[in-house]
Amino acid sequence: MVAIDPATDLLLLIDIQNDFCPGGALAVADGDAVVPVANALIDRFSHVALTQDWHPAGHSSFASSHAGAAAFSTVETDHGPQTLWPDHCIQGTNGAAFHPDLTIDRAELVIRKGFRPELDSYSAFFENDCRTPTGLAGYVRDRGLTHMVMAGLATDFCVAWSALDARRLGLDVTMILPGCRAIDQDGSLAQATQDLRAAGVVLASQVT
């Protein structure tokens, strides 16, 4: 359990969008179960930010953009391996919208990511080249926010990459595990859990 400091804590909710929920294009098992947990967290924090996976049609992370490639296969890019996904979270579609039950009104910031056709972005802070900033690092610095409390989808991709980048930026990070669900592809959840622990991310069941 972690205690909330309203002045320095940012609740950062990652990609709680229709396409990552049951019935969506890249559905995470039980993904919509994070919504009530996220809503309860929103009520507890003074500062709330959301991320929104936001791809143009034909995005380079879609298997459909690579002739003959299957979804969940991997291609090499100049910044390393990239998993190819089913088409998902296309700008302006219902799949890219936040889950309708997520109480987003108090969110102070929405960070959209993955909008560059040639570059994917899992992390809320840097795109997958690990260099192109989303602007969130500057935002939290300017706002004096030093502790990121995270939940959302998916544990082993966008939440984990966001948490690891936040640690690299020197921020304190807590992940609220009941508010996260994983894709868990080829052991990705076990690997992410190991990486998160090694980086000093606190894996918590709730806030106090």
Q: Catalytic positions, please?
A: 15, 113, 158
**Residues of span 104-143 touching Zn ion by CB under 5 A:** 114
Contact between 53 and Zn ion by CB under 5 A: the answer reads: yes
Distances in Å between the alpha carbon of 196 and those of 14, 35, 68, 205?
A: 16, 23, 34, 15
Alpha-carbon span 171 to 173, nearest angstrom: 6
54, interface contact from ligand VGL, Zn ion, none, CB < 5-8 Å by kind:
none
Q: Residue 63 binds what, of Zn ion, ligand VGL, none (CB under 5 to 8 Å, by partner type)?
A: none
Sequential DSSP letters for 115-150:
-STT----SSSB-TTS-SB-SHHHHHHHHT--EEEE
Q: Provide, rounded to whole angstroms, the least separation between the CB of residue 93 and Zn ion.
A: 13
CB of 165 to Zn ion, least distance (A): 16
Least distance from ligand VGL to the Cβ atom of residue 14, Å: 6
Q: Which residue has the tokens 């298997």?
A: 63
Segments in 51-179 forming alpha helices (H): 136-143, 160-168
| Number of residues forming the site for Zn ion (CB under 5 A) | 2
Q: Interface residues with Zn ion (CB under 5 A)? A: 53, 114
